[in-house]
Amino acid sequence: MKISLFITCYNDTLFPETGKSVVRLLERLGHQVYFPFEQTCCGQMHYNTGYQTEARPLMRRFVEIFKDAEVVCVPSSSCVAMMRDHYAKMAEETGDAGLMKAVDGLLPRILELSELLVNKLGVEDVGAYYPHRVTYHASCHSLRSLHLDDLPLRLLRNVRGIDLVELDGIDQCCGFGGTFAIKNGDVSAAMLAEKLRCVENTRAEVCTAVDNSCLMHIFGGLHRQRAGIKTVHLAEILASTEAESSS
């Protein structure tokens, strides 16, 4: 399958390893990955903070770049949620019938990574090897907007060597919430403290999720506390293989 990658602006800039892993993983499964260089941002930060006027051209830009893609893979549930929850309404507000039609046609072809793997490509065992104690944090958008349910967990359970431990309060927000962490730093920190307690109680080496934004928040707290726990995007675990870890 020809898969166009929307890496997202912050993965591109802050977490290139996640992007590389998505590419390695999809190619290993026999697919062709395309990276349209013109891509920038889906507009989520602007839209959710109240700058909807500024978000609109970013939506238009995204649709323009990806409208002909066979399928778009996005390794971030919150960016997919932004598109699914708001793009149709945003397009309607422009009054541009062509744009509305393009959004309608494109949305079903935009998939979060675990949706792509399990629902579209029909793979649950991607042939990964990851000999570590891992706990999974279900990000809010993955759970309550995309309704991924146990898709990421099904993928993780098939990883060889993994010691998967359940996270207490798995459905609780980590307190990131984009600009919320800045605007309401104190409440965000209190929410993070609760999340960190749960992560530390699992005695996992690694905390994973389908969103690097939550993981950046959780890791920021873990590192400050010298907790000795890493955060790793799901894609990076799924991309790991036995050959690689022995080399």
37 contacts another protein (rule: CB under 8 A): yes
Q: Which two tokens stand for residue 213?
A: 């934004």
Min separation Cβ 148 and another protein, Å: 13
| Choice from 1, 216, 227, 242 touching another protein (CB under 8 A) | 216
Residues 61-90 interacting with another protein (rule: CB under 8 A) = 61, 85-86
Segment interacting with another protein (CB under 8 A) among 50-58, 100-108, 129-137, 203-211: 50-58
176 contacts another protein (rule: CB under 8 A): yes
Segment interacting with another protein (CB under 8 A) among 57-65, 104-112, 152-160, 200-208: 57-65
188 contacts another protein (rule: CB under 8 A): yes
What are the DSSP calls for 144-203, one per residue? IIS--TTHHHHHHHTSBT-EEEPPTTTTS--S-TTTHHHHTHHHHHHHHHHHHHHHHHTT
Q: Rounded to 5 degrees, what are φ and ψ at 214?
A: -60, -40
Residue pair 152/90 in contact (Cβ under 8 Å)? The answer is no
What are the DSSP calls for 15-82, one per residue? -HHHHHHHHHHHHHTT-EEE--TT----SHHHHHHT-HHHHHHHHHHHHHHHTT-SEEEES-HHHHHH
Residues 121-160 interacting with another protein (rule: CB under 8 A) = 140-141, 143-145
97 contacts another protein (rule: CB under 8 A): no
102 contacts another protein (rule: CB under 8 A): no
23 contacts another protein (rule: CB under 8 A): yes
47 contacts another protein (rule: CB under 8 A): yes
| Choice from 3, 7, 111, 235 touching another protein (CB under 8 A) | 7
13 contacts another protein (rule: CB under 8 A): yes
- Between CA 164 and CA 144 the distance in angstroms is 23
Nearest Cα neighbor of 67 from 21, 35, 30, 103 is: 103
| Choice from 112, 175, 213, 232 touching another protein (CB under 8 A) | 175
Within 13 A of 110's CA, how many CA atoms are on the CB side?
29
Segment interacting with another protein (CB under 8 A) among 4-12, 96-104, 113-121, 157-165: 4-12
- Between CA 17 and CA 237 the distance in angstroms is 11
Min separation Cβ 176 and another protein, Å: 7
Number of amino acids touching another protein (CB under 8 A): 72
181 contacts another protein (rule: CB under 8 A): yes
- Between CA 148 and CA 137 the distance in angstroms is 12
Min separation Cβ 55 and another protein, Å: 8
Min separation Cβ 66 and another protein, Å: 14
Closest to another protein by CB, 159 or 181: 181
